[in-house]
């Protein structure tokens, strides 16, 4: 369970440690959202590609990617079934409607996951800002105290 800490009672070095921890958490959550968006984009693109699989396109020639930079000529022979990569090297044959449903479910799932992470990210940002403001106040207090001590020493 998370422990409540009153940041006004922390010293400047402790605030620095807390700020660094919050920086790492913000970076992790931001990275997580970015990765989820990349995967979501791939599913959206795959779902969009299903629109070209029509009876009118059956038998048409196309280029089949063998790698990211090498293609070979081929023919679109079956527009009613597709193979879907479901992860870890497994593929499942599905009808176009089932494939659309599969991609929609994946896209919706990823959207919900990103929506779960977003509030935590905003909370960490707010906490980080509060720590930075407190650090600034402590630095100003130390600077003012040092200036008043220097003035008192001169007198």
Q: Could you tell me the pTM of the whole model?
A: 0.76
Average pLDDT over residues 41-56: 92
Please determine, for residue 154, whether its predicted confidence score (pLDDT) is greater than 80: no
Integer Cα distance of 128 and 122 in angstroms: 10
Q: How many other C-beta atoms are found inside a 10 Å radius of the C-beta of residue 25?
A: 17
* Confidence at residue 7, expressed as pLDDT on a 0 to 100 scale: 82
Average pLDDT over residues 77-97: 92
Q: Cβ distance 7 to 19 under 8 Å?
A: no
């Amino acid at each position: 369970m998370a422990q409540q800490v009153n940041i006004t009672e922390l010293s400047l070095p402790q605030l620095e440690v807390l700020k660094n921890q919050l920086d790492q958490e913000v970076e992790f959550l931001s990275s997580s959202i970015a990765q989820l968006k990349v995967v979501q984009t791939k599913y959206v693109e795959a779902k969009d590609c299903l629109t070209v699989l029509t009876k009118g396109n059956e038998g048409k020639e196309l280029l089949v990617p063998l790698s990211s930079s090498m293609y070979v000529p081929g023919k679109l022979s079956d527009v009613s079934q597709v193979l879907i990569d479901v992860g870890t090297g497994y593929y499942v044959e599905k009808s176009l409607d089932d494939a659309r449903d599969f991609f929609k479910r994946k896209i919706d799932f990823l959207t919900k996951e990103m929506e779960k992470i977003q509030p935590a990210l905003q909370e960490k940002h707010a906490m980080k800002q509060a720590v930075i403001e407190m650090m600034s106040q402590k630095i100003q207090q130390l600077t003012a105290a040092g200036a008043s001590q220097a003035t008192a020493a001169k007198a």
